[in-house]
Amino acid sequence: MSPRLARIGLFVAAASAPVVFVLVPIAAFLIMSFWRVETSQLVPDMTVANYAAFFASDTYPRVFIETLQLCAIVAVIGVALGYPIAYLIWRQHGRLRYVLLLLFAIPLFMSYIVKIYTMRSILGLQGFLNQGLVTLGILDQPSLLFIYNRLAILLTMAVIFLPFAILPIYLSLERIPRSLVHASADLGGAPLASFRYVILPLSAPGTIVGALFVFVLALGDFITPQMVGGPSGFTIGRVIWSQFGLAFNWPFGAAMASLLLLVAFVVISLAALIARRQRV
C-alpha cells in the first residue's frame, strides 16, 4: 500500500465516526422534515407543508421567539456571572489559578439532571436560599419567588452553563500579554482605565464566544425550563418533544428541530468567526 493510499485510508477511518454518528442522523432529520404522516404511518415525500404549518401557527413561532429571548437573557446573565469569575481566576498566580479553574470546571463532570435537582433544592420553598433568607430575617416565611417561574429558569440555566462562559473568557484573558497591562500602568492608566481600555476590549471576543456558547446550550435545553419553570416553563424544545409521543408527527417535529438547528448553526458560526479573528 502506498503511503498516499494509507493516508487516505486513515482519513476515511477517522472521518467515518463523525459522519456516521453526527452527519447521518442530522441528515436523516432534515430529510424527515419533508415527509408527512398518514394514518399513523410515516410517508416519505418532498413537501414543505411542515414548515408552512409552523409559520402558519399562531402559537409555535411565538414560542420560538420567546425561547430565543429567554436564551439571550440566560447568555447575558451567564457572562455577567462568568466574567468576574474568569477575571478573578486570571488575576491569581501560580498553582492557585489552576486550582480555581478546575474548581469551576468540576460541574462539567456532574450529571446534568443532578444539577437541575440541586438547583431546585436550593431555590425551592424549603431550599437553602429560603432558609438563609428567613434565618437572616430578610423574609418572614419561605417564598415561592425563586422557583417554578421564569426567574428560576434564568438562574438555573445560567448556573448550569456557567463553566461554558468562564472558560472562553478566561482563555481570552490569558492571551492578553502582561506587558500591555504594564504599559498601560506605566503610562499612568489607573487600574480602572487599564481595564476599560486594554483588558475589556482584548477579552471581548472570548466574552462574546462564551455568551454564544451559553445561548446555544440554553436553546437546546427543554428539561430545565420544564422542571423549574412551572407554568412558564414551555419552550420550543418542549414543542418539538411533544411531536414525538402521542401526537406522532415526527416530520413536523423534525421541521421545527431543523429550524432550531439552523439558528444554533448561525450562532456557532458567528462564534467561530469571532474566535478566529481574535487569534490574528
Partner 1 sequence: MKTRISRRGFLAGTTAAGLTLAAPAIVRAAGGELRVLTWEGYAEPEWVEPFKAATGAAVSIVYVGSADEMFARMQGSKGADYDVVSFDTSIFPRYIDAGLLAPLDVAKVPNAANLAPAFQHVEAIMRDGKQYGMPFGWGSLPLVYDKAAFPTPPDSWEAMWDPQYVQQVISQDDANNCITLGAIVAGVKNPFNLSDADFETVKAKLIALKGNLLTFFAGFDEGVNIFAQNGIKLMYSMGEPQVPALQKLGVDAALTIPKEGAIGWLDCWVMSAGARDPALALAWINACLDPAVGKVLTEKSGYGNTTNTAVNDAAGMTYGDRLIWLLPAENYEKRVQVWNEVKAA
201, three cell numbers: 476590549
42 strand-pairing partners: 37
| 82 burial via Cβ count (<10 Å: 0-12, 13-18, 19+) | buried
Choice between 2 and 126, CB closer to partner 1: 126
Q: Is 225 in the site for partner 1 (CB under 8 A)?
A: no
Q: Which of 249, 254, 260, 271 binds partner 1 (CB under 8 A)?
A: 249
Q: Residues touching partner 1: how many (CB under 8 A)?
A: 26
Helices (H), 34-187: 49-56, 60-91, 94-105, 112-123, 128-135, 150-160, 162-174, 178-186
Q: Is 222 in the site for partner 1 (CB under 8 A)?
A: no
Least distance (Å) between residue 11 CB and partner 1: 40
**At its nearest, how many Å lie between partner 1 and the CB of residue 233?**
7
The footprint of partner 1 on residues 7-66 (CB under 8 A) is 40, 59-60, 62-63
Please identify which residue in 125, 134, 181, 264 interacts with partner 1, judged by CB under 8 A: 125
Q: What is the DSSP letter of 22?
A: I
Q: Which residues, 6 or more positions from 175, have their beta carbon under 8 angstroms from its beta carbon?
A: 202, 206, 278
N-terminal to C-terminal alpha carbon distance within the chain = 40
Instruction: Find the binding residues for partner 1 in span 64-123 (CB under 8 A).
Output: none
* Residues 135-154 interacting with partner 1 (rule: CB under 8 A): 144, 147-148
In whole angstroms, the minimum distance from the beta carbon of 39 to partner 1 comes to: 11
Write out the DSSP string of 155-209.
Answer: HHHHHHTHHHHHHHHHHHHHTS-HHHHHHHHHTT--HHHHIIIIIHHHHHHHHHH
246 makes contact with partner 1 (CB under 8 A): yes
Q: Judged by CB under 8 A, which of 55, 112, 248, 265 binds partner 1?
A: 248
- Cα gap 86→97, rounded to integer Å: 10
Q: To the nearest whole angstrom, how small is the minimum distance from the Cβ of residue 21 to partner 1?
A: 24
Tell the smallest beta-carbon distance from residue 214 to partner 1 (Å). 24
Interface residues with partner 1 (CB under 8 A) are 40, 59-60, 62-63, 124-126, 144, 147-148, 226, 229-231, 233-234, 238-239, 242-243, 245-249
